[in-house]
Structure 1
Amino acid sequence: MKKIIIAATLLALSFSISACSLTDKGSLKKITEGKEFNAWEMDLAEKLESYGLEDDEKEKLQKIDEECDDIKDNDYKTQLLTAKKLVKLSSQIESRLEDSAKDLVEKLGKTDVPYASEDDKKKISEYSETVSDMIKKHDFSNYKDISESFSKLVENSSTKLTGLDVNIVQFDYTNYPTVRMYVDVKDSSGNVVTNLSPNMFFVSQKSVANGDFQSVTIKNISMLDQKDALNIDMVADTSSSMEGERLSSAKTVMSTFLNTVQFNVGDKVKLTEFNSYIDKSGVFTSDVNALNQKIFSYVASGQTKLYDTLIYAVQDVSGIPGAKCVLAFTDGEDVGSYNSASDVVNVVSSYKIPVYIVRIGDNYSANDPELMQITSASGGEFKYFSSFGMDMGNFYNSIYTGMKKYYEIEYEMPDPTNYTDKRDFNVYVKGDGVGGSADIETNSGNDFFNTLLGNFLRSYIEDMNSHSYNQLASKIDDTVSPTDETGLKYQMSKQVTGGFANVVSESLMSYSVSSITVVDENTIKLATDEDYDVILDRKYSSFTGDKLNQLNNILYRNSWNVGPDSQIRIWERVNQKPEYVLKKGSDGVWRFSQYSVDPGSNATIAIYDAVTAY
């Protein structure tokens, strides 16, 4: 009987164990979704590993993985316990990642990305959608890699990188309020970076209201040699000190340089010959044959007005749209200029137009430091002709190609009618893992009206010397009555068609805007400072007072003998400070309308040279 009871107990226990085993197996299948335990464990462990685990999470997962190696295939109870451990760990990991992902999406949604290109913004949006989808599906595969890439992209788009040398070279305001900024970009080795796409550039302007930099909408970006023309004012020294081999070498090297110019894409060159006079008759042209013909016709004579000519050339080319520079070939020995080297430095510094000087002659001259100071202040370069001889290759690469590698950034000026405001601009360039920026303070209104003034005054000089009213017509307000003596139409048409019969020639030497007064949105007053070089013939007996004293000192110094009827040719430097009224027409173009301060009321005249004409 006892044996029967024991047998029955064992049988019941067996049924109980079997029942428990079946229960464990059923519960396990629910967890593994019907998969075999080992396969399910391996898949889940692999999935969790792809999340990018913390060190303690890795240890826990590894421990569970090791426990699985010792579990027998039919030990459903242990399998169930291990599965529950793994599910709990998985839940903890996914909960942590879900919180992290939500924080990341929220944080990045609030982060300003001022240096994100359109492609960057698209990637950021895609990353955000991917992470949001992970949260929704509770699947954080590759989350760590994605979050790191996401965060790095946002960081690179919200902070400035370093490694690039960015330099703002010059501005072009000829089509204001559309502005062109020319930017030079070099890597850490000093090499020009040429593979930058438009979405890598960012321009911002400091707000007057709060001092923060605000993004400026860029209209177009390109590298200069891809589309835009370069204008070169080529200055040629034909003074008597250049006679012989020096002038011959200069002619050859200038002609050789013309062979490097990209006339086919619109580059233009103007020749400005100088000695005792500055030849202002040249025009910007792409006719290489005409340029060569002019170069080889040069004859050496007279003094060396180098400094006056450099100022003239910089201001002359400043009114030409597009990128520009001055390239001078000279022996460097200034004789007869009214301006000094420091005057040239001041002018080139304000215009930011590169001046390149090639000195013909000896390897060194006492004037070289001054010439180097001029080129350095302008962003140009000083070269000895003997350093490259007739081989223009290296010279071309360092000067011409360098300028052709500028990036042209075209944008619309914010608040363009705030003409008197100084503006702080920043340009930031972002490359592949590197970046660089440059800051500059500009007075764009002043620069714009300075450009207008230069174009107006050059037109005046051209019409004055040709005794015609052609170039000025488009720059003067036609709505003022032609009989209004304060009107520029009356004044200019009278002067240029014969108002100064004894004037041989008149040259604009320098000009600047002193102040701008905004009267209303269509009217401004422009106070200016203008210097002219005037050559005129007068009878000796017509001179009196201070002018007679100036003349006698010069004639005595130069040992000229004169009588009362002697005809004297004099060189005068005339400074005047007129104030103009400018009107903006219905076409949006500013034109010179009237004098509000007559130029003759504050003019100063100094005679600095004289000869007997006959």
Structure 2
Amino acid sequence: MFCKNCGSPLDDNASFCGNCGAKLSPKSKKKHSPVKYVLLILALLLVCGGLYATVGLNLRKNNLMSKIEESKIDEYVTAGKRLNSQWDKLGITDFSDKNDLLKDFKAVNKNVSDFQSCSKEVKTMQEEKANYDLAHENYEEYEKLLSDCADAIKEKDASGALELFQEVKQSFSDLKAANDDYIDDRIDTYENLDLKDAKDKVKTSYDKNLSKIHELAKSEDRDYQALQKAFNSMDQAIFMYIEPKNPLEVTVQQVDASEFPKVKLYVNLKDPATQKVPDNLDKTLFYINKEDANQKYIKQVVTSVNQLNEKESLKINMVADVSGSMDGAPLAEAKNIMTNFINSVQFDAGDLVELTSFSTGVRLEQEFCNDPNVLTNDISALYTSDMTSLYDALYTAVERVATQTGARCVIAFTDGNDNYSSCTVQDVINVAKRYHVPVFIIGIGSINSNDISQITAQTGGAYYNINTVDSMQNIYDQIYQMEKELYLVEFEDSTGATVKDTAQIEAGYHSLEYGGKCSYSYTPNVLLNPNSTSIYQDGPEAVVEKYLKNFPQAVTNSDFSLIADCMKQGSAIYTEQEKYVKRSIDETLDSYEIVDTQYNGDSSCVISTRETYYVQVQGKALQLMTQECKYSLEKAGNDWKMTSFVDLKVTSRIKQ
């Protein structure tokens, strides 16, 4: 500082000037600038704001991470943890980086939300998918994609599910467009039908159905199922005037008339272009026409249609060659293949399997059974012997399986030519055709296939030739699948025919997509086993049926009283059978058929039967014996009694 009076320098803290002695003014206090306080406050605010911002960002991040973890979707939880790890490495002031990470967290959360929405939509689409089954090829594609997407959702494959969901939505859009085209095509077809020769009833039904179809088609939100029902109703009314787009091969493989007048037809249908059974055939478009006594075809009421693979059972008699040439490795391989086949059979659907083997005679290894463990144990116990009784085995197997209700077949394999049977090729064909049993045979190696092919061709079966035993597996599976693809068509015979009358029928299917029919002739021969429900409740047939069921026990137990009341006392048959039951013979009735009844007036008749017994004569081998009998009966009052044998002929004896 300097003196204001003389300008001399002043000492610090001096009160007077050292040069002129002038009194100095008191030193004023130094003023402090407020800027530093403002800066301090701002710094504090920044620190507090930063802390607040960091806490807020953490809360948002934690909330997003919590939602990700709650989803329990591995790929999203993993992505969230990776982002969380990056977050933890950031400093308190790395706001920009944290905001970028929050965007990534939000993207993962959106994926979680999209997956959850996808899951809900797919569930709804699965519940409603059947409503859109009209254009079937497009529907199958949509259904497949929907199923794949649902599987991905179930496995929590989120990325895969979301990707598939886009395809599902596109497929759904394509399906609706295809459905609309299908509807327009059907309407165009109906409108251009030529019905000038149709009956008035058909024309009235046509007009009514077409009006309903037009009404449904005009709706902006088309009800596809209602339209499908309307199409079906129209097709049923005018199906004979529709030209199908594709031909259909139709064949009747077998008939079951054991509950006559209810008749069951087992029908094979194939697209000749693909040799496969078309999917989703409309069950309402099967038809049966049957010739009446005036040779006029009458439409029958079809009461039920089902594909065997859906709910109907199959009865199979497996016939195994255990002749000497099968010894060692061939039999071991055959056992393995038969066991694998048994494990593929639908026992839970009611399938039954019987095991028959043949060599020097025929052995019933296991009666019809639904226990795979029992059957596989019996297969394991098979052993070989010398000769080859193929025809006897086939005859026995047909007789056995023919007593079963429903679809049935014989599947046999052999590696050699028959050299020991008492039955002939024609015997096998006759019995199989009589009871409508298809016979499938697998020939192994270089065997004479002429006779075998004749059996399979005439019974509705098939012959397969393979070089080695290990090739049998695919054929077993193929035969089984072919039988399971049969359609069971049930109808009630309304022509007034009896169970013994030969029937001429037309069986077919007719729709806009497929059409075909076949003619078929059959006599509904019903082969029964002793445990079957009696089909005759009164009349002479009921007497003969009771006699047949009781006769084996009467012979085995030497108890004539079991059959005495079926015969006229003192008659020829009464006297003869009273002596016969005392012989040293064991008999077991295996099956029987009441073939025919010929009346001679109101009080006498002759009944023809076909009977098969297991017969054991003391000191001789067990035999399966089939005989054809004719019994004479007379009526006394209200009761019919057997009086004599008109004829008895043994048609076969098969060594067991």
Shorter-chain TM-score: what band? 0.5 to 0.7
Per the alignment, residue 382 of structure 1 pairs with: 463
Matching of residues 444-455 of structure 1 within 5 Å: 444=524, 447-448=525-526, 450-451=527-528
Structure 2 counterparts to residues 186-197 of structure 1, below 5 A: 186-189=270-273, 190-197=275-282
1:355-379 CA-to-partner distances (Å, cap 9, x unmatched) read: 111234xx2113x221111111111
Say if 2:323 is the partner of 1:239. Answer: yes
Report what 2:292 is aligned to: 207
Q: Residues 209-256 of structure 1: CA distance to partner in whole angstroms, max 9, x if unpaired? A: 2x3211111111111111111000111222333322232222122112
Instruction: Answer yes or no: is the 8 Å Cα contact 1:240–1:301 preserved in 2.
Output: yes
Aligned residues: 431
- Conserved 8 A contact 1:526-1:582: no
Q: Summarize the Cα distance change of 1:107–1:577 in structure 2 as closer, same or farther, 3 Å threshold.
A: closer
**1:549: which partner in 2?**
none
Matched, 1:500 2:552: no
CA distance in 2 between partners of 1:605 and 1:350 (Å): 14
**Aligned 8 A contact 1:235 1:273 in 2:** yes
Amino acid corresponding to residue 645 of structure 2 in structure 1:
D
CA deviation after TM superposition for structure 1 residue 387, in Å: 6.0
Deviation sequence 1:259-283 (CA, Å, 0-9, x none): 2211111111011122333234632
Query: 1:88-117 CA deviation, whole Å, 9 max, x = no partner?
Result: xxxxxxxxxxxxx9xx9997562658xxxx
User: 1:283-302 to 2 correspondence within 5 Å?
Assistant: 283-302=367-386
Distance 1:126 1:195, change over 3 A: closer
Q: Which residue of 2 aligns with 1:411?
A: 491
Q: 1:577 is matched with which residue?
A: 629
8 A Cα contact 2:574 2:643, kept in partner: no
Letter aligned with residue 578 of structure 1: K
Q: Which runs of 5+ in 2 are unaligned?
A: 1-190, 215-231, 533-544
Which residue of the partner structure matches residue 516 of structure 2?
436
Deviation, structure 1 residue 321: 0.8
- Asked if structure 1 preserves the Cα contact closer than 8 Å seen for 2:319 and 2:356, the reply is yes
CA distance in 1, matches of 2:343, 2:202: 50
Residue matched to 2:447? 365
In the alignment, residue 598 of structure 2 is paired with which amino acid? Answer: T
Structure 1 residue 462: Cα displacement: 7.4
Whether 2:645 is the aligned partner of 1:598: answer yes
- Give 1:397 deviation, angstroms: 4.4
Contact kept, 8 Å, 2:612 with 2:627, in 1: the verdict is: yes
Task: State whether structure 2 residue 427 is matched by structure 1 residue 343.
Answer: yes
CA distance in 2, matches of 1:413, 1:240: 50
Corresponding residue of 1:125: 208
Whether the 8 Å contact between 2:248 and 2:270 is mirrored in structure 1 is yes
Matched to 1:579, the amino acid is: Y
> Partners of 2:653 and 2:352 in 1: how far apart?
36
* 3-state SS of paired residue (2:272): coil
1:400 equivalenced with 2:480 (yes/no): yes
Change (3 A) 1:219 1:129: closer
The DSSP-based 3-state class of the residue aligned with 2:366 is coil
Matching residue's letter, 1:375: T
Give the equivalent residue in structure 2 for 1:56: none
* Equivalent pair of 2:316/2:354 in contact (CA under 8 Å): yes
Contact 1:489 1:593 in 2 (8 A): no
2:385 and 2:651 map into 1 onto residues whose CA distance is 27
Partner SS for 2:385: coil
What is the match of residue 302 of structure 2? 218
Q: Which secondary structure state, in structure 1, belongs to the residue aligned with residue 247 of structure 2?
A: coil
Cα deviation for residue 534 of structure 1 reads 4.9
Measure the CA separation in 1 of the matches of 2:603 and 2:404.
25
- State how far apart, in whole Å, the 2-side matches of 1:129 and 1:334 are: 65
Distance 1:220 1:484, change over 3 A: farther
Which secondary structure does the structure 2 equivalent of 1:399 belong to? Answer: helix
Q: Distance in 2 between matches of 1:523 and 1:320?
A: 32
Offset at residue 388 of structure 1 (A):
7.3
Specify which of 194, 197, 200 is matched with residue 110 of structure 1: 200
User: Structure 1: any 5+ residue segments left out of the alignment?
Assistant: 1-100, 114-120, 132-148, 539-567, 587-591
- 3-state secondary structure, aligned to 1:173: strand
Judged with a 3 Å threshold, the aligned counterparts in structure 2 of structure 1 residues 212 and 417 are, in CA distance, closer, same or farther, namely: closer
Shift of 1:182: 0.6
**By how many angstroms is 1:410 displaced?**
1.2
Please give the alpha-carbon distance, in whole angstroms, between the structure 1 residues aligned to 2:233 and 2:328.
69
Q: 2-side partners of 1:505 and 1:130: how far apart? A: 66
Distance (whole Å) between structure 2 residues aligned to residue 339 and residue 192 of structure 1: 36
* Change over 3 Å in CA distance of 1:607–1:458 after alignment to 2: closer
- Residues 401, 524 of structure 1: alpha-carbon distance in 2 compared, 3 angstrom cutoff: farther
Code of the residue aligned with 1:439 in structure 2: it is: S
For residues 624 and 377 of structure 2, the distance between their equivalents in structure 1, rounded to whole angstroms, comes to: 32
Q: Distance in 1 between matches of 2:234 and 2:653?
A: 71
Rg comparison, structure with higher value: 2
Distance 2:652 2:618 in 1: 15
> Which residue of structure 2 aligns with residue 273 of structure 1?
357
Paired residue type of 2:608: A
Q: What secondary structure, in the 3-state scheme, does the structure 1 residue paired with 2:519 have?
A: strand
Structure 2 SS opposite 1:174: strand
Distance in 2, Cα, partners of 1:438 & 1:185: 10
Describe the shift of the 1:465–1:286 C-alpha distance in structure 2 as closer, same or farther (beyond 3 A). Answer: farther
Q: 1:464 to 1:431 in 2, by over 3 A?
A: farther
**Letter matched to residue 258 of structure 2:** T
**TM alignment of 1:540-551, pairs within 5 A:** none
TM-score computed with the length of structure 2 as normaliser: 0.55
Shifted more, 222-231 versus 522-531: the winner is 522-531
Q: 1:435 to 1:519 in 2, by over 3 A?
A: farther
The structural deviation recorded for 1:382 is 1.7
Cα deviations by residue, 1:365-417 (Å, 9 ceiling, x for unpaired): 13x2211111111111222353672572x324421011101110111122455
- Partner residue of 2:503? 423
